[in-house]
Amino acid sequence: MKLSDDEILRLNRWLHDLEEGQLSDEDAKMLADALKMSEQARRYYVQRGVLMAGLCELTDEAQSANGLMSIRKVDKLSKWFYLSALTCVLMMGLFFWLRRENEAVEMVEARDRGCAILVEAVNAQWGDEGASHRVGMPVAAGRLNLRSGLARLEFYSGASMTLEGPCELEVVSVDEAKCLAGRLRVNVSPHARGFRLVTPDAKVVDLGTEFGLWVDETGKSEVHVFDGEVEVYPEAQTQKVSLTTGQLWDGRAGDSATDRGAEAHAFVELDDLRSLSHESAQLRRQAWRAGMEEVLNDPRLLVGYAFEPETDWGRTLPNSAKGAAEGTHGSIVGARWVQGRWAGKKALQFKSPGDRVRVQVDGELQAITLCAWVSVDGLDRRWNSLFLTDGFQPGNPHWQIENDGRVVLGVRKDKKEWSQFVFRTEPAFGAENMGLWYHLAVTFDLKSGIGRNYVNGKLVAEYLEKGIPSGTRMRIGMAELGNWGLPVSGAKSTEIRNFNGRMDEFLLYREALSVDEVRKIYEMGKPE
């Protein structure tokens, strides 16, 4: 898209003031924003620098024709212009070089430190100080302390194990772990043959089977083979003990299989775990529904999407807020219904560049709160839409995720191009948490000037905008979830900013919620 005449005039004024050393701090910020956001503005900047360098050279040549005295009179001035223009060009060359370097860094493959994935958890309470273990998240080498509840790990090699709290496990690699205390059940596929499980008094090598392991408080182990074959290497012994289906090795009884058979009933089976997991999810969903009743009756709520359609083919996203205006019921385009945070709960999946939900919110706002549960599958665009107004006129909010994982709210200040209030987090999304459910929220109050960003109920960034004129207001009008607007003014295309992932719950308030209120909404809706 070409620069408009007004945009070119503004750029010329800023660049002239920059060359004269008279550029104000406010204009310098707007120039920096323009160069950051507009490829056309950067090209114009370079072209102007090249043109000035050429004019300076022509001036020197013309002065040379009038003799040495003339050259000396303009020598300093000519050199100043030439060097300024040359510096400008060199700076822009450095800018593009750094940009290429950054792009090169971005192209370096992301690395995964994980050895396993936490695939299920039921009432799990972890004792690892400062650790965050979430279903779907990779588990790196290190110690896991499950104080209570159940948890299931799937190792990258193909082995899996179910832990019963209290249990202390150290993940060593994709094909080895150490059980320091507790009870667990292990299933080793043929691809993971040779998986090793070390205890304080033995090493267990699985040859493709299913077995149970219990380590008591004294460090003594029991190995129960339910199917297949296991080799046990007792501590300080060179001879192995081979166990087959139905046999048990007890470290307290000696170095051979005992007469007492394997006790499968003493260990949680996979079907039992999944039944308990489903039951726990339903209880969480019921608690969320009860809490949502209060949320949806809040008079400050303008839009409340619970993402609970009557049918899987429904193309309307009902606004369940009390007294909802007709235009606030969303029209689903392209996006399809998939599983949400819990089994039986729905979410909308946005994948293609055309997927979106159309919505209209009329009126003016002095403050705003936006909340959403999202599962990000990829950051494919420079800006990935959460909630954007169709245009970007004064007062319009744009809430999106940048391709480096930062969540940002931009609100257009006035008619000056690139002039906006910006509230940005540190990177919240990366390769390590793709596909996980996250609660995002942002608040902005024009009266106080305070903008706040939240991730999973935690305040992660706070900004203060000073000197906002008292009459300033935010306006939404036509807007979209998961995309950015329709082609306007006869344009045949528009920028692609579609969201790649799932969304399950969206709230829009006419006020800035408090820190405690945002945390309460998160606690009410968290999946686990």
- Position 315 scores a pLDDT of 93
Do 277-525 and 114-268 have the same topology in CATH?
yes
- Position 507 scores a pLDDT of 98
- Position 108 scores a pLDDT of 65
pLDDT tens, position by position, 108-147 = 677 788 999 999 998 888 986 646 788 888 999 999 999 9
**For residues 225 and 209, what is the distance between their CA atoms, to the nearest angstrom?**
8
The whole-number average pLDDT for the span 433-453 is 96
What ranges do the domains of the chain cover?
1-47, 114-268, 277-525
Please determine, for residue 256, whether its predicted confidence score (pLDDT) is greater than 90: no
- Position 86 scores a pLDDT of 47
422 vs 19, more confident:
422
- Position 1 scores a pLDDT of 53
Of the candidates 184, 190, 178, 274, which has an alpha carbon nearest to the alpha carbon of residue 223?
184
**For residues 121 and 50, what is the distance between their CA atoms, to the nearest angstrom?**
62
pLDDT tens, position by position, 296-309 = 999 999 999 999 99
Low-confidence winner among 33-37, 208-212, 480-484 (lowest mean pLDDT): 33-37
DSSP state of 433: G
pLDDT tens, position by position, 391-402 = 889 999 999 999
Of the spans 13-27, 86-100, 252-266, 348-362, which averages the highest pLDDT?
348-362
- Position 502 scores a pLDDT of 97
DSSP string covering 347-408: EEEE-STT-EEEEEEEEEESEEEEEEEEEEEE--SSEEEEEEESS--TT-EEEEEETTS-EE
Contact present, 84 and 53 (Cβ < 8 Å): no
Tell me how far the alpha carbon of residue 486 is from its chain's centroid: 26
Of the spans 213-222, 255-264, 275-284, 510-519, which averages the highest pLDDT?
510-519
**For residues 124 and 163, what is the distance between their CA atoms, to the nearest angstrom?**
10
- Position 107 scores a pLDDT of 54
Confidence of residue 496 (pLDDT cuts 50, 70, 90): confident
- Position 485 scores a pLDDT of 76
pLDDT tens, position by position, 160-193 = 999 999 999 999 999 999 999 999 999 999 999 9
- Position 43 scores a pLDDT of 76
Percent of the chain with pLDDT over 90: 54
pLDDT tens, position by position, 213-254 = 999 999 999 999 999 999 999 886 667 888 999 989 888 876
The CATH T-level fold of domain 114-268 is: Jelly Rolls (2.60.120)
The whole-number average pLDDT for the span 319-336 is 93
- Position 404 scores a pLDDT of 92
pLDDT tens, position by position, 332-391 = 999 999 999 988 899 999 999 999 999 999 999 999 999 999 999 999 889 999 999 998
- Position 28 scores a pLDDT of 77
- Position 73 scores a pLDDT of 40
Of the candidates 32, 106, 112, which has an alpha carbon nearest to the alpha carbon of residue 382?
106
CATH class of the domain defined by 277-525: mainly beta
Please determine, for residue 3, whether its predicted confidence score (pLDDT) is greater than 90: no
DSSP state of 489: T
Confidence of residue 78 (pLDDT cuts 50, 70, 90): very low
475 vs 83, more confident:
475
pLDDT tens, position by position, 19-69 = 777 777 767 777 877 776 777 777 777 777 656 555 555 545 555 555 443
The whole-number average pLDDT for the span 497-512 is 96
What is the maximum span of the chain, computed from C-alpha positions, in angstroms?
114
Please determine, for residue 406, whether its predicted confidence score (pLDDT) is greater than 70: yes
Confidence of residue 159 (pLDDT cuts 50, 70, 90): very high
DSSP state of 425: P
Low-confidence winner among 75-84, 171-180, 403-412, 421-430 (lowest mean pLDDT): 75-84
- Position 239 scores a pLDDT of 78
Q: How many Cα atoms sit within 13 Å of 310 on the Cβ side? A: 4
* Distances, alpha carbon 354 to alpha carbons 13, 478, 485, 509, in Å: 39, 16, 10, 27
* Distances, alpha carbon 399 to alpha carbons 32, 149, 265, 499, in Å: 21, 38, 52, 11
- Position 72 scores a pLDDT of 39
As given in the structure block, the two tokens for residue 412 are 């257009």
Q: Report the mean per-residue pLDDT for the chain.
A: 84
Q: Taking the CB of residue 363, how many other CB atoms lie within 10 A of it?
A: 12
